[in-house]
Amino acid sequence: MTELELKYGCNPNQKPARLYMEGRELPITVLNGKPGYINFMDALNSWQLVKALKKSTGLPAAASFKHVSPAGAALGKPLSDVERKIFFAPEGDLSPIACAYIRARGADRLCSFGDWAALSDTCDADTARYLAAEVSDGVIAPGYTDEALEILKTKRKGGYNVVQIDPDYEPDPIERRNIYGIWFEQGYNDLAIDEKMLENIVTANKELSQDAKNDMLLSLITLKYTQSNSVCYVKDGMTIGVGAGQQSRIHCTRLAGNKADIWWLRQHPKVLGLQFVDNIRRPDRDNAIDIYISDEHDDVLAEGVWQNTFKVKPEVLTEAEKKEWIAKMSGVTVGSDAFFPFGDNVERARKSGVQYIAQPGGSIRDDQVIATADKYGMVMAFTGIRLFHH
């Protein structure tokens, strides 16, 4: 048996704590820092996500995890000029894996504060430099270049958590879990999510490009490692809104849709034109943008507040301007880990530019859900597979 002692469990009072395997060597190596119990829960869940994404799409993938659910996940596609600005990306060419993490982190920068990063490919210097500038707890990857490791070892006064995992590791076919002294046992969820799942298109519109298929796969694989109930919005190879752990499906759809709207509003000309004071910290800037976009904008513009954030007092972003801008969003994909029970989920998704839907199907009201999608010319695939994760 090999084991790794941990400082404590989910909370400081939960001792002792350790990771261990019987009859096998642990597939992980701590290269720097001292990750904790929740760190490893994030690391192992996020690694499964990016490994599956890389296998399914053939593209480098990255994820940003918080509390065992993804705040964001993305494929390694080049960054647009706007994305470089809103994600704080450096100028010049960037590696695909660096682009993947920058986009995953940019999906929801507030929720990614203090995240755990996962990379499908070797962590290079581009990725390490970006990670070093963000508030992050740690990273897991199949390898690190020497330069990347040296950069990461300087973060958090030398205590940044760096974990390497054997990319060839496969878990046992049966997994076990202990709750309240009682053992649970089930087969490991080795379900492969691929394009075959997208063949049952039930809407009148059946036009599905390769990019749209990749977005569907990204949404489904993200959902497979998100606490249920969950709904995920995706655009251009990155999640833009993840709604996790809600008891109601429509609440998941609304939560994720609201996050997608905020992601889109961050690209509004008024937001891009905000003039921040020199040397403002990234988290402070993210918080200010979030408040500026939200209904709390009066607070950030109040006397005594805006002077500490902005060089020039910004104009209010009105509700009418927000509504007009959100109406311009298009080409969005939404995935659901279980069936949509009512057409109201489709109605809410449409408000955030959704054109493509991937969901299991199987509701007694499938006809109503399909009719709602057809009303807006959407493409909807029934995967036939539920993706609950707890």
Taking only the tens place, the pLDDT of each residue in 313-366 is 888 899 999 999 999 999 999 999 999 999 999 999 999 999 999 999 999 999
- Per the CB < 8 A criterion, the answer to whether 338 and 386 are in contact is yes
Domain residue ranges of the chain, discontinuous segments joined by +: 2-165, 174-265+326-382, 269-316
| pLDDT exceeds cutoff 70 at 304 | no
pLDDT for 2: 82
Please check whether residue 90 is in contact with residue 129, taking contact to mean a CB–CB distance below 8 angstroms: yes
- Given the residues 45, 161, 214, 229, the one annotated as active site: 229
Check residue 101 and give its pLDDT.
98
Q: At residue 305, does pLDDT exceed 80?
A: no
**Amino acid identity, residue 39?**
N
Neighbours of 160 (CB within 10 A): 20
2-165 and 174-265+326-382 have identical folds: yes
Q: How confident is the model at residue 368 (pLDDT cuts 50, 70, 90)?
A: very high
Q: Which residues, listed in sequence order, are joined to residue 33 by a DSSP beta bridge?
A: none
Question: What's the pLDDT score for residue 300?
Answer: 62
Question: What does the pLDDT look like over 215-229, one tens digit per residue?
Answer: 999 999 999 999 999
pLDDT confidence of residue 199: 96
**Active site (annotated) includes residue 268:** no
- Section 91-95 average pLDDT: 93
pLDDT band at 308 (very low <50, low <70, confident <90, very high): confident
Residue 235 annotated to the active site: no
pLDDT at 294: 84
* Mean pLDDT across 67-78: 96
Mean predicted confidence (pLDDT) in 249-267: 96
Average pLDDT score, the chain: 94
Residue 295 is predicted with a pLDDT of: 72
Query: What is the predicted pLDDT for the residue at 298?
Result: 67
- Known active-site residue 389: no
Identified catalytic residue from 55, 67, 251, 351: 67
The pLDDT value recorded for residue 332 is 98
Other beta carbons less than 10 A from residue 134's beta carbon: 20
- Residue 203 contacts residue 373 (beta carbons within 8 Å): yes
CATH number of 2-165: 3.40.140.20
pLDDT at residue 271 greater than cutoff 90: yes
Structure-token pair, residue 329: 């969003």
pLDDT in tens, 319-329: 999 999 999 99
pLDDT at 167: 97
Give per-residue pLDDT as tens, 155-169. Answer: 999 999 999 999 999
Give pLDDT, residue 303. Answer: 61
50, 73 Cβ separation under 8 angstroms: yes
| pLDDT (tens digit per residue) in 113-147 | 999 999 999 999 999 999 999 999 999 999 999 99
Residue 313 confidence (pLDDT)? 86
Per the residue annotation, which of 51, 54, 66, 259 is the catalytic one?
66
Structure tokens at 275: 């003039």
pTM: 0.95
Identify the band that residue 23 occupies on the pLDDT scale cut at 50, 70 and 90. Answer: confident
Could you tell me the two tokens for 323?
A: 């509504």
Cα–Cα–Cα angle for 177, 182, 186, rounded to 5 degrees:
40
Burial of 372 (0-12, 13-18, 19+ CB in 10 A): buried
Q: Is 67 designated active site?
A: yes
When pLDDT is averaged across residues 188-209 and rounded to a whole number, the result is: 96
Say which CATH architecture domain 174-265+326-382 belongs to.
3-Layer(aba) Sandwich (3.40)
What tens digit of pLDDT does each residue of 230-246 get?
999 999 999 999 999 99
How confident is the model at residue 296, as a pLDDT?
Answer: 66
Integer Cα distance of 165 and 143 in angstroms: 7
Query: Is 285 a residue whose pLDDT tops 80?
Result: yes
